[in-house]
Amino acid sequence: MIERLLKKLSRYGPPSAEECTALAGIMTPVRRFSAGQEVIQQYSAPKESTVLLSGMMGRLVTLRGGTQQITALQVPGDFVDLHAFLLARMDHSVVAMNACETTTAPHSELRRLCDRYPRLARALWYLTVVDASIHRHWITVFGRRDAIARAAHLLCELHVRLEDVGLTDDGQFELPLTQAHAGDVLGLSAVHVNRVIQELRARSVVTWDRRRVQIKDWDALVDIAEFDATYLQLVPQVET
C-alpha cells in the first residue's frame, strides 16, 4: 500500500525489512476524499499524519480578504502533513484537488517507531527536509521569475515528481487544477494564468487542456523555467 512512500524513504538509505513492516503495520485503513474536500483543517492539531496514496492534494492558506495561496502540491507517496508530527498546530489546511485515497499513521505509533528505529526516524526527518528544500526553491521562483517561468517551472516539477511515482505517460500527466487553482499555486491571477498557458501553447511547448498536460518540447520548457531538478532530491543519498 505504501510502496511509493517506502521508495521515497529509501533514498535516504533503504530501510530494513523490519522497519518497512513496522511502518506499514501502523497505517490505518484507506480513507477516501472527493475533489475540493478539506482533508486537514488549518489551525487543527492532528493526532496522526496522512500519506497520500492516489490523487493530488494542496496545502492551502486562506488570507484576510479571502485570497488563497497554495504553498505546495502533493503527489501519491507524499507524507502530506508529516511536519504535524512535530508541530502542534497546522499552519495551513490540506485540500483534495481531485478524488484521493489516503492512509494515516497515528503520532503515538510514529513516536514509538522513531524511538526504536533511529535510522527510520532519520529517513522520515529526511522527507520533511526535502519538503523544505522544495519550499526554498519556490521562494526563489516567486522572488525572481516572471509568470511564464513560474508556470513552466510548475509543469517541470510536476512532471518529474509524477514520473518518479510512475504517473506520467510519454510527457503527459493529469493535472487536476482549474486555472484559478493554478493561480493560487503560482501567485498569479486566474486571468494571467490563462494568458501564460496560451503563450506556452503558441510556442508549441505544452498543451494543457481538460485537466491533462502534454509536454511537447521538454528542453524548451526547462529553458523557460530555468529548471534544475536537483532541489527535488530524487537522487539517492549516501549516508557518510
Partner DNA sequence: CGGCGCATTGAGGGCGGTCAATTGGTGTGG
Partner DNA sequence: CCACACCAATTGACCGCCCTCAATGCGCCG
Residue 218: closest CA among 157, 135, 147:
157
**Nearest Cα to 40, choosing from 83, 104, 92, 76?**
92
Residue 26 and residue 110 in contact, taking contact as beta carbons nearer than 8 Å: yes
Provide the mask over 130-169, with x wherever binding to DNA is found by CB under 7 A and - wherever it is not: ----------------xxx---------------------
| Cα–Cα distance, 222 to 224 (Å, whole number) | 6
What whole-number distance in Å separates Cα of residue 176 and Cα of residue 101?
Answer: 15
C-alpha pair distances (Å), 169 with each of 160, 164, 186: 12, 12, 24
Q: Per CB under 8 A, does 219 bind its own copies? A: no
Minimum Å distance from CB 141 to its own copies?
A: 9
Query: Is residue 37 a contact residue for DNA (CB under 7 A)?
Result: no
Give least dist CB 140 to its own copies, A.
4
- Smallest CA-to-CA distance from 218 within 157, 179, 171 is with 171
> By CB under 7 A, is residue 194 in contact with DNA?
yes
* From DNA, its own copies, none, interface partner of 192 (C-beta below 5 to 8 A by class): DNA
Q: Which residues pair with 69 in a beta bridge?
A: 61
148 binds, among its own copies, DNA, none (CB under 5 to 8 A by kind): DNA
Give dist(CA 240, CA 102) in Å, integer: 34
* Member of 24, 216, 220, 231 binding its own copies (CB under 8 A): 231
Residue 42 binds which one of DNA, its own copies, none, with CB within 5 to 8 A depending on kind?
none
Please tell me the chain's helix, strand, coil percentages from 3-state DSSP, rounded to the nearest 5: 45, 20, 35
Are 173 and 159 contacting, i.e. CB atoms less than 8 angstroms apart? Answer: yes
Q: Does residue 61 interact with its own copies by CB under 8 A? A: yes
Which stretch in 131-139, 156-164, 167-175, 190-198 sits in contact with its own copies by CB under 8 A?
131-139
Judged by beta carbon, residue 60 or residue 167, the one nearer its own copies is: 60
Interacting residue ranges for its own copies, rule: CB under 8 A: 12, 45, 47, 59, 61, 63-64, 67, 69, 71-72, 83, 86-89, 91-92, 107-108, 111, 114-115, 118, 121-122, 125-126, 128-133, 135-140, 142-144, 184, 186-187, 226, 230-231, 233, 237-238, 240
Q: Which residues bind DNA (CB under 7 A)?
A: 146-148, 178-180, 183, 187-192, 194-195, 197-198, 209-210
